[in-house]
Chain A
Amino acid sequence: MRLSKSFFKKLFRRKITIIGAVILVIIISMALLSPLIAPYDPMKINPIDRLQKPNSTHWFGTDNFGRDIFSRIIYGARITVLSGFGVVIFSIVFGVILGSLSGYFDTLGMFIMRIIDVVMAFPPIMLALALVAILGQGLINVIVAVGAVYLTRTARITYGLTLKIRKDAFVEAAVAEGAGNGRVLFLHIIPNLISPIIVQATFTFAFALLQMAALDFLGVGIPPQIPSWGNMLSSSQDYITRAPWLLLFPGIFIVITVLSFNLFGDALRDRLDPKFKDEL
């Protein structure tokens, strides 16, 4: 896939895509530069300042331990982005391996895809909860649990595309030239799957953020001492009537991050998938 100048020009033709991309850059910068941006230590307990409304000192107010919400949101971006990328990498790597192998080797495909189909019948959050129950809590385990849910979607898409591509003339030519299965799969088929995989990765990131926030809220996600946005919402439940800002700000950040990924994913799909080029 060549990302030419005209590709980016067409990608950012719609203003809404630019807005989505700018928000994503801001969120990722927040994650990378948290110690430089955050005005306070996000973990520092300060009982005198507890449950302060948003003011000039604490822009987003403080929580029940007197911790600065703005600083916690900035640090929360770090864990949110990190775990989102973790899910994307896990689901894409294993999904592409399983999907492409299934699409290329018929017998193996029949076996693996039947299992994938059945796993897709499990409600996503129930499956993630069941996996967390087996693996135990912790950042890595949550990434694996949520990643396993989305791995099935990636595998399904990759399987369908591999079935289609393997019949293309360039693949048949490579086989005729004596290329082995590994070479055909890794040098000829998988590189041609990159566009739909990038689109899938964007949507996976958005869904994963929602799913992980839900797990945090249910108390089975990332350990509560880590200031993820989901954990901040979870701990705000007891104070929602007295301190609604505890609920408001982390929620808004989740919404705008997910929305930006969805907008960006839509724009990418429109550009990379010929089927959608004429739509919207």
Chain B
Amino acid sequence: MLAYTFRRLLTIIPTLLIASILIFSFMHLMPGDPAAVMLGTNATPEQVEKLRVQLGLDRPIYVQFATWLQEAFRGDLGDSIFFQSPVLSVIQNRAETSIFVATFSMLIILILGIPIGVISAVKYNTLLDQLTMGFAMLAASIPTFWLGLNLMILFSVNLDWLPSSGFPSVLESGNLNNLKYLILPCITLAAPNSALIIRLTRSSMLDVMKEEYVKTARAKGLKESIVILKHIFRNAIISIVSALGFTFIALLSGTVVTETVFSLPGVGRLVVQSVLRRDYPVIQGIIFVVVILYVFINLLTDLSYAFLDPRISYE
């Protein structure tokens, strides 16, 4: 297991290097002078030149990359043009909302998606299975922002049960009541992703159900609940765990839209605002942080994968 962990850690290096090159290239792919594009048409040549120097665009490209990479891994992702402050602190200020939204949505997905997928597989080809699959497909076909706006009309405007927008910080105020601001955004974000986990759980369970050892377990006279939980689910969960990394990325992607719909002060909404403000260092910084998060979540997923199925670490 230790050797496997070490080998897996080594694979992170080329991944991060390629990701760094792509993210660094981002600003240089812009047509024209990035500094002029960022400052807009009203900027004077002096202002453009000042920003070019500030961003280091006057230096050779390989020097720019080496400096950027070195600083990025030290936590310095440059300065936001709009906020006039370090990108990392801008991201940190918005992180609380996004972490809460993504975590609670993930919990909803796990609590709802996996059991529903298991039941659907156990009741394979029954009315319940077909209804579940129908709802899952419908949920995966609904635009997140449309679902969010409809929930807002129903639960905030018509019924007045839940707040429609904003999120006063829980960490600063210590008021857990503020979490109610996240109920609708989390349901909105969890719905389409739950659908994917339901379908995946069901198909993984159905795959395992065809295995010989499941037939043997039944032939031995084991109770059906034991066959389902210990023999089928235990083996099916490996492919579900491997999909959780992708689900996390889907959730992060979803926060962009959900936070905009519910006007939440999170990182997702910051990306949209930064695109509209042409604040490229912030866009670059957020993507860098997200990719690093993804790489490490995938690492944890792979390690848990090896833990769940010890054969993997010996391959």
Please tell me the size bucket of the interface on A.
35 or more
The CA of A136 and the CA of B37, in the complex, are separated in Å by 11
B132 at the interface (CB under 8 A from A): no
Given A132, A237, A240, which contacts B275 in the complex, CB threshold below 8 Å? A132
The CA of A119 and the CA of B249, in the complex, are separated in Å by 12
Residues of B with C-beta under 8 A to A118: 15, 18-19, 22, 291
The contact sample of 18 A-B pairs, CB cut-off 8 A, is A117-B15, A121-B15, A121-B291, A123-B252, A126-B286, A127-B287, A132-B275, A133-B278, A213-B143, A217-B257, A218-B256, A220-B272, A240-B149, A247-B146, A247-B153, A251-B150, A259-B138, A279-B203
The CA of A201 and the CA of B5, in the complex, are separated in Å by 37
Instruction: For the complex formed, measure the closest distance between the CB of A75 and the CB atoms of chain B, giving whole angstroms.
Output: 19
Residues of A with C-beta under 8 A to B125: 280
Residues of A with C-beta under 8 A to B254: 125
Residues of B with C-beta under 8 A to A122: 287, 290-291
- Which DSSP category, helix, strand, loop or mixed, fits chain A's interface? helix
The CA of A45 and the CA of B225, in the complex, are separated in Å by 64
A258 at the interface (CB under 8 A from B): yes
Name the residue on A nearest B156 (C-beta).
Answer: A241
When A and B form their complex, what is the total count of cross-chain residue pairs whose Cβ atoms lie within 8 Å?
129
Q: Are A126 and B142 in contact, CB atoms less than 8 angstroms apart?
A: no
Known: A118-B15, A220-B276. A129 touches B283 (CB 8 A): yes
Residues of A with C-beta under 8 A to B287: 122, 126-127, 130
Q: Are B19 and A134 in contact, CB atoms less than 8 angstroms apart?
A: no
Given B141, B149, B153, which contacts A206 in the complex, CB threshold below 8 Å? B141
Please tell me the size bucket of the interface on B.
35 or more
B144 at the interface (CB under 8 A from A): yes
Known: A129-B271, A133-B283, A247-B149. A210 touches B143 (CB 8 A): yes
Given B22, B141, B150, B250, which contacts A259 in the complex, CB threshold below 8 Å? B141
Interface-central residue, A126, A210, A240, by most chain B CB under 10 Å: A126
Name the residue on B nearest A247 (C-beta).
Answer: B149
A66 at the interface (CB under 8 A from B): no
Instruction: For the complex formed, measure the closest distance between the CB of B98 and the CB atoms of chain A, giving whole angstroms.
Output: 11
B81 at the interface (CB under 8 A from A): no
The CA of A279 and the CA of B271, in the complex, are separated in Å by 41
Q: Are B294 and A233 in contact, CB atoms less than 8 angstroms apart?
A: no
B30 at the interface (CB under 8 A from A): yes
Q: Are B149 and A237 in contact, CB atoms less than 8 angstroms apart?
A: yes
What does the 1/0 interface line of B255-270 toward A look like (CB < 8 Å)? 0110010000000000
Q: Are A259 and B137 in contact, CB atoms less than 8 angstroms apart?
A: yes
Residues of A with C-beta under 8 A to B144: 210, 214
What does the 1/0 interface line of A231-249 toward B look like (CB < 8 Å)? 0010001001100100100
Residues of B with C-beta under 8 A to A219: 272, 276
Known: A123-B249, A214-B257, A217-B257. A258 touches B276 (CB 8 A): no
The CA of A237 and the CA of B262, in the complex, are separated in Å by 11
Q: Are B253 and A126 in contact, CB atoms less than 8 angstroms apart?
A: yes
B295 at the interface (CB under 8 A from A): yes
What does the 1/0 interface line of B275-300 toward A look like (CB < 8 Å)? 11010100100110011001100100
Q: Are A126 and B290 in contact, CB atoms less than 8 angstroms apart?
A: yes
Name the residue on A nearest B277 (C-beta).
Answer: A133
The CA of A180 and the CA of B124, in the complex, are separated in Å by 49
Q: Are B294 and A121 in contact, CB atoms less than 8 angstroms apart?
A: yes
Known: A118-B19, A126-B252, A255-B146. A218 touches B257 (CB 8 A): yes
Q: Are B252 and A255 in contact, CB atoms less than 8 angstroms apart?
A: no
Q: Are A124 and B150 in contact, CB atoms less than 8 angstroms apart?
A: no
A115 at the interface (CB under 8 A from B): yes
Residues of B with C-beta under 8 A to A240: 149, 152-153, 157
